[in-house]
Amino acid sequence: MYKGKKVIVVLPAYNAALTLEKTYREIPFDLVDEVILCDDASSDDTSKLAKEIGIDHVIVHEKNKGYGGNQKSLYNKSLELGGDIVIMLHPDYQYTPKLIPAMVNIIGDELFHVVLGSRILGKGALDGGMPMYKYIANRLLTFTQNILVNHKLSEYHTGYRAFSREVLMGINFNQNSDDFVFDNEMLSQIIYADFPIAEVSCPTKYFEEASSINFSRSVTYGLGVLRVSFNHFLQRIGIGKFKMYNKPE
């Protein structure tokens, strides 16, 4: 708990058996009340290991629902459990759990409703081994998105995020894609709903066991990001009427 607020860490997992325990052991349990893992039909022992190391709640998808579908299960479960501060942490050890206290403090002290762990603030991305083509694509997409959605973030593509309960209750994330573009749709909804967003500089690691999408999937993701950003622009100027921006019922 932090100042009476329940803190939940959610782990979207797919074939994460090699890095899961290392990630889990660094979670600061003096602050974190519960951990939820969703195994998106892994072919390894991710869910078995999750139960063995003591993760509180393990959700198993019998069929792969995609990265976005995984997050939907996690956020719905966190709301069901009464989470007030929800941190999404990838179990592939690409992002350090040691930033959780800072993210919890920012939301718990009601400074911001959302905190993003940015790889771009400072030199974390390239120093951590981000491929140059991904770095350049990240910068170009972020520049375009900032213009279209009328906001200013250092990056929209980090997988390290923390949300207040009010955010998860206030946006229609279940309406979003089940694929990787879910993350961008969620940020678009948050910005449109005018929830304030903070960023903290986050070191990152690129190594063999860490998950990463290939070049063709990256292109598909990039096109999806541009679609979301143009839709946001149309919605913002009053031309678009997209269901994802409706308040959840």
More confident residue, 153 or 214: 153
Distance CA 15, CA 42 (A): 5
Nearest to 185 by CA among 128, 246, 94, 119: 246
Which SS3 state, helix, strand or coil, does residue 163 take?
strand
Q: What is the pLDDT of residues 74-83, one digit of tens each?
A: 999 999 999 9
Task: Break the chain into its structural domains and give their ranges.
Answer: 7-245
Asked whether the beta carbons of 216 and 227 are under 8 A apart, the reply is no
Give me the percent of the chain exceeding a pLDDT of 70: 96
Q: What is the pLDDT of residue 209?
A: 55
Q: What is the pLDDT of residue 152?
A: 95
Q: What is the pLDDT of residue 212?
A: 59
Residue 146, C-beta contacts closer than 8 angstroms, at least 6 positions apart: 152, 153
208 has a pLDDT exceeding 60: no
Q: Which of 45-59, 121-135, 154-168 has the lowest mean pLDDT?
A: 121-135
For the chain, how many residues are written?
A: 249
Other CB atoms within 10 A of residue 186 CB: 26
* Mean pLDDT, the chain, integer: 93
CATH of domain 7-245: 3.90.550.10
131-157 average pLDDT score: 92
210 has a pLDDT exceeding 70: no
Distance CA 165, CA 75 (A): 10
